[in-house]
Structure 1
């Protein structure tokens, strides 16, 4: 076998293992980039859930201050009504005082003294639950009994001297949480949403017309019994996407973000392509250098052989 063939085999023996290890490294890089992008989704949805819980906690704290109002303790409903209006959340928010049967006694959206509708069954059940457990209860998306618009509520017990029992509620319009989660600085292609325990949209940063509709079935199934997770499925618009979700321990609501899969995969593939291009250039340079020096070596050996022949 000629020397050139031996040199080519040597070059191949060096480059082949490097190429194999490079392929493995690129696959690892692709996986790492994808995981990093998905981790960004998880961080976004966790931060959004904290933002929602912070608003609910703030509303609860305001209600507890209101519950200790001396006007309510003394039965001065006129003065308490003025005090309650200061606790309203947002432009469409309102504060409601319920009796133990769920009947509204005060609703800050209408003047004090105006007739208030009888309580629906779900209001009576929720009011009795708050009074019996003496714990805060956050509702899902419901239809307000006065304005007949979709709202959510946070309800706290108000035990007073003499065995009197009330429930105070802070009411949020759907635009309140939509505006809240829209404060998150996310790319235009990302969609944030808040979903109640029954699977209905409370807030959305995109397509707000879907508020009140059911969320993605695959997402709702994946979130059953879990506090967080990531799935890949098609959006309601039919786009292949990644969904990251987390469940609020305070309200039980689901906070989710969806991102087109092409965006996640594209970011990872761009990083891999850049690394692959750099590695390919390095291998080509190494191969060219090997060929160049192989030719120089062959030429030198031939020269030495010719010189030895002439000397003989």
Structure 2
């Protein structure tokens, strides 16, 4: 059976009820979870910003400390005496505390002292643009400066320089610089409280990687992605969302610019980590919803078994109402169902009483109708006999009245509902003392068709009993269905002479019953039998949309209209 939304079983209604209760709570949980995810997202962003600022401050302090150390060295008397050999010894002592190399260059960028080369040996000229630019800033401003990433002329390694001016007689004649390897800066990144999946990167003024918390050897000297540098160039610090790191990972970035140099510290957080709280929320909420719904479904099913027991009991009680059969079970747990069951029991008792009273009335009515027909029969017989020798007329009249009585008995027995044609044939054969056989499909006659067919069968049976030549052989009533019609055959035994019937009341009565009352058509009616066509709709009542007389009038009107066209 196909179920609609309104005819779902109890277990589904219970599940829907549970869902309706849970939905507000789930929505509340979703709202709280969303709030938590947004807050966690904001916390991660703020943590990245704070971390970038922290690392930037540490680098500023390191570079300032290096500047201070170089400035202390620049104040040595050896500078004024231009004794670079003695200055080299002092520089070597300073390198024990910090830095990788200390050198002195003149305005032509020629080295006059280098801690990597003993005094007196030739020194190279470094024309790296980053070194040249740092020296030029020192000579032009007389202020300390920090270079961008460059390649050392002696070692070929990558360094950055902290440059301070060397003044001789008040004039900046030389630049004193300390080279710092990227590993020193990376050590600062390593000491930062950096979460495992995050990456910290230091970019120089040319947006090249100076140090990186992971895969430094792979990416050192690489340019930062343009999608970051173009958007970060506007502000000293801030965030840049939806960019890709050097390894192609989608990241959220926070950056901060150093105070002593235009370097940037960039902290990158993978989008997967940033969205992890929301993803965790969605997965957790989905799991909770699935678990809750599954639990609700199981509990609803278990509890519905108890309710279904009462509903089935109520259904059985309703089905037994009016039948006289007591119901096996009654509802016991649901008060509303118990109330309905009580009402059904009261209705059953009332129907039982009404049916008993109706049966008494019908029995009394049938008895009185039979008595009335018997009295009518007796009166007709005595009246006709008292008028002369009319025994045959009395017999015919009595038989026709008895045919009406048989039809009435059949209808009363069937409570004026559909009656089997085969049963009418059997009763007619019994009353008329004639052997009759019924052939064909069973026909359930509507109440209005029983009396006309009973009269027609009576006339045919009486005629065969009185005038048939082969009275010891059975006659056959054969019925055939053909679309919307029924073929009605009254077949006489072999050996009968096919003599036409004489025109009399019996013939007119048969025609009246079959053609006028049942709207059929008699194809043949003679001593060899009867062949008629009857409309199934008027015999059985199936598919009958109008009253018979209205249909008859309609048929006649249609026939008249058709004949007028011809």
Give the TM-score of the pair, scaled to structure 2. Answer: 0.46
- Is it true that 1:239 corresponds to 2:249 in the alignment? yes
Question: 260, 267, 273: which one pairs with 2:270?
Answer: 260
C-alpha separation between the residues in 2 aligned to 1:160 and 1:279? 80
Name the SS for the 2:94 alignment partner: coil
1:100 to 103, 107, 121: 107
Which residue pairs with 2:459 in the alignment? none
Distance 1:187 1:89, change over 3 A: farther
**Separation in 2 of the partners of 1:278 and 1:41?**
32
Maintained 8 Å contact 2:34/2:278 = no
Residue 9 of structure 1, CA deviation: 11
1:178 deviates by 2.2
Aligned with residue 234 of structure 2, among 218, 225, 232: 225
Q: How does 1:6-21 map to 2 (within 5 A)?
A: 18-21=25-28
Of 194, 212, 224, the residue aligned with 1:186 is 194
Give the CA deviation at 1:153: 0.6
Shift, 1:64, TM fit: 1.1
Are the structure 2 counterparts of residues 119 and 9 from structure 1 closer, same or farther at C-alpha, using a change threshold of 3 Å?
closer
SS of 1:252's equivalent in the other structure is coil
Corresponding position: 1:133 with 2:141: yes
Q: Kindly provide the CA deviation profile for residues 106-160 of structure 1, in whole angstroms up to 9, marking residues without a partner as x.
A: 1112112211123427344432321221222111111223323221111122334
Aligned to 1:4: none
| SS of residue paired to 1:87 | helix
* C-alpha distance in structure 1 between counterparts of 2:40 and 2:106, whole Å: 56
Q: Which residue matches 1:289?
A: none
Matched residue count: 310
Specify whether residues 180 and 19 from structure 1 end up closer, same or farther in structure 2 by C-alpha distance, changes over 3 A only.
Answer: closer
- When the two chains are superposed, the root-mean-square deviation of aligned CA atoms in Å is 4.0
Contact 1:233 1:240 in 2 (8 A): yes
**Deviations 1:19-67, CA, capped at 9 Å, x for gaps:** 5444333322221111112222222222222222221111011011111
- Quote the Cα distance in structure 1 between the aligned partners of 2:250 and 2:295: 40
Distance of 2:190 and 2:16 partners within structure 1: 62
Change (3 A) 1:280 1:28: farther
Preserved contact between residue 89 and residue 171 of structure 1 (Cα < 8 Å): no
With the length of structure 1 as denominator, give the TM-score of the two structures. Answer: 0.78
- Cα distance, 1:121–1:279 mapped onto 2, change above 3 Å: closer
Question: Quick check: 1:76 aligned with 2:86?
Answer: no
If asked which structure has higher relative contact order (CA below 8 Å, sep 6+), I would say 1
Deviations 1:192-235 (A, max 9, x none): 21111112111123242221121222222221122221322233
CA distance in 1, matches of 2:98, 2:133: 28
Alpha-carbon spacing, 1:283–1:254, altered in 2? closer, same or farther (3 Å) = same
Check 1:45–1:207 CA distance in 2 against 1; reply closer, same or farther (3 A cut). same
The 2-side partners of 1:154 and 1:244 are apart by 26
Task: Summarize the Cα distance change of 1:154–1:119 in structure 2 as closer, same or farther, 3 Å threshold.
Answer: same
Aligned pairs (5 A) from 1:51-200: 51-88=58-95, 93-120=100-127, 122=129, 123-161=131-169, 163=171, 165-200=173-208
1:275 shift after superposition: 7.1
The CA deviation string for residues 75-109 of structure 1, in whole angstroms up to 9 with x for no partner, is: 33222111112233778711112223332211112
For residues 272-309 of structure 1, give each alpha carbon's deviation from its aligned partner in whole angstroms, at most 9, with x where no partner exists: 655787799999999xxxxx9xx9xx9578889999xx
Pick closer, same or farther for the CA change 1:279–1:161 going to 2, 3 Å. farther
State whether residues 239 and 252 of structure 2, in contact with CA within 8 Å, keep that contact through their aligned partners in structure 1.
Answer: no
2:37 aligns with: 30
Q: Deviations over 1:236-258 (max 9, x none)?
A: 32322222222212221121122
Could you tell me whether the CA contact under 8 Å between 1:246 and 1:255 is conserved in 2? yes
